[in-house]
Amino acid sequence: MANTTNYNWETPDDTDLVKDGAAAIRTLGSSIDTTTKALNPSTTLGDIEYRSATANTNTRLAIGTTGQVLSVVGGVPAWATSDDANAIQNAIVDAKGDIVAASAADTPARLAVGTDNQRLVAASGETTGLKYVSDTQNTVIDAEGDLLVGDAADALQRLAIGSNAQVLTVDTSVDGKIKWATPAGGGGKLLQVVVAEVTTQTTIASTSFTDTSLTATITPTLATSKILVMFNHSATSDRAASPMGFSLKLLRGATTVYNQDDGGGGTFYANPTTLGSPIGNTFNIYTNGIYLDTPNTTSATTYKTQARVTTTSNSGNVRFQNNSLPSTITLMEIGV
């Protein structure tokens, strides 16, 4: 006799003489039946099997009841009643935006949504330890440049942006105790500087005041500001006789604000007693001027110099920025 590999069923050997074939078949059939039943012990709709401690033998697990979940008890599967009471229930939230927070250990609770623009903050006095509060930092601001200042303990208020060149100033008499204010008097505050360098060679052969090409523009930040104007002019006066000279003046726009003209002879004047050349005289000079102006404006303001020669006879002329020798003009806005 021989046995099958997996279930050890008894079968005739290849060389056996089958004397009683029916008995051999019955023996094999009985073995198959016994094994099959051991592997498939289910008897009822919904039954499931799992492997028992015995080889080739399953254990039947009868179907559980409605709502039960498959669990493990004692190392084997078992149907168990679910513990929904300890799960977060759908019913805990009531509205869009509700959130679930703990009110104690293992205790979830609903926190209703706040109103628009509120923010969530920790609040130990609340059931959930949280609460929605108005977001002052967002809603109190109305415009670009606004600032937040304290209004009281834990309270903020808006400080609207000030105007150009104002500074933050403490003032205990105003709400918030801080305000924007124009800098107080005292003078001498340098607010801005504009410098222009000019190299445009400009020749004037006229007794009428004429632009020298030296110009600069400043836009005062305060109407009360002073403008300190300083210029340094390169000039070459030329005439085929003596004397020779020229005069300068400073203009704001079309208005003369500083005049170095003496009415005829020329402020910058030379009268060589000996001609340096049989064909003419030349003198080179760097002349300067300083003037403190009060333009009373916050509009762009242009300053420039003009010049005229003492005489145009004998080809009298003055050349500014001769051979591109630079002239400069500096405008300083001084807060007062």
Partner 1 sequence: MNYLVKAIHKLKPTAQFSFIDDDYSTIKWDVLEGDAPTKKQIDDAIKAVKADEANQIEANATAKAALLERLGITEDEAKLLLA
Minimum distance between the CB of residue 312 and partner 1, rounded to whole angstroms? 5
Buried b (16+ CB within 10 A) or exposed e, 98-108: eeebeeeeeee
Pairing type for strands 58-61 and 48-51 reads antiparallel
284 binds partner 1 (CB under 8 A): no
Q: Collect all residues with Cβ–Cβ distance below 8 Å to 48 and sequence separation of at least 6.
A: 42, 60, 61, 63, 77
Site string (220-249) toward partner 1, x via CB under 8 A: ------------------x-x---------
215 binds partner 1 (CB under 8 A): no
Site for partner 1 in 314-333 (CB under 8 A): 315, 317, 319
Q: Which residue of 71, 89, 138, 200 would you call a contact of partner 1, by CB under 8 A?
A: 200
Q: Which two tokens stand for residue 85?
A: 């009471």
208 binds partner 1 (CB under 8 A): yes
Cα end-to-end distance, the chain, whole Å = 126
CA–CA dist 240, 270 (Å, integer)? 13
Q: Which residue of 52, 224, 298, 312 would you call a contact of partner 1, by CB under 8 A?
A: 312
210 binds partner 1 (CB under 8 A): yes
Minimum distance between the CB of residue 280 and partner 1, rounded to whole angstroms? 5
Give the nearer residue to partner 1 in terms of CB position, either 48 or 240.
240
CA–CA dist 169, 179 (Å, integer)? 5
Instruction: Determine whether 241 is exposed, middle or buried from the number of CB atoms within 10 Å of its CB (0-12, 13-18, 19+).
Output: middle
Give the nearer residue to partner 1 in terms of CB position, either 305 or 317.
317
CA–CA dist 328, 231 (Å, integer)? 6
Minimum distance between the CB of residue 208 and partner 1, rounded to whole angstroms? 5
Q: Which residues are near partner 1 by CB under 8 A?
A: 200-208, 210-211, 213, 238, 240, 278-280, 282, 312, 315, 317, 319
